[in-house]
Amino acid sequence: MAKYQLITTTPEETMALGVRLAAFLSAGDIVCLFGDLGSGKTTLIKGLAQGLGVNPDEVNSPTYVLMQMYEGARLPLFHFDLYRLEEAHHIHGIGYEEFFYGQGISVVEWAERLGDLMPEGYLSIELRHQDHQRALTLKAVGDRYERVVKSLKLS
């Protein structure tokens, strides 16, 4: 499984990756984000939102809801933040399957909390603090996402 790594030095650069990525995603696609608080997950999603024609200022980490939906010009964006998810099965309560395999793009912060409910295929993006920089590692899980990553022409 190929891995692609890049370093961003500003939030704008992280957003720009999200903007580019949005162009290669289609309905039913899932992006799983891994990384500590402040690593840039929400910033990347702001870029995804912008790429889909949503005002990035609308995107924040939802405090009390597990999923926030934004109506993009081309596709809706389903933004999951599982920071407060105590047990993976609680996600059934919001009917996540309808979103995951539905008519929009799903992006999941704290995706490791999905546990057994982790989808079979997804684009994995791991973000790590490195001083003032962020190291991002992209990995395709499943053929469909291999194509998405290649389209980004990162290496």
Binding mask 83-122 for ligand ADP (x = CB under 6 A): --------------------------x-------------
| Binds ligand ADP (CB under 6 A): choice among 30, 134, 139, 140 | 134
Least distance to ligand ADP from the beta carbon of 95, Å?
24
Q: Where are the alpha helices (DSSP H) in 84-152?
A: 96-100, 143-152
Residue 40 touches ligand ADP, criterion: CB under 6 A: yes
Whether the Cβ atoms of residue 66 and residue 94 lie closer than 8 Å to each other: yes
Cβ contacts of residue 116 below 8 Å, gap of 6+? 88
CB-count exposure of residue 87 (10 Å: 0-12, 13-18, 19+): exposed
Residue 60 or 103: the one with the smaller Cβ distance to Mg ion is 60
50 binds, among Mg ion, ligand ADP, none (CB under 5 to 8 A by kind): none
Residue 124 touches ligand ADP, criterion: CB under 6 A: no
> How many residues lie near ligand ADP (CB under 6 A)?
19
Instruction: Please give the span between the terminal C-alpha atoms of the chain, in angstroms, as a whole number.
Output: 15
Q: Which residues contact Mg ion (rule: CB under 5 A)?
A: 41-42, 61, 109
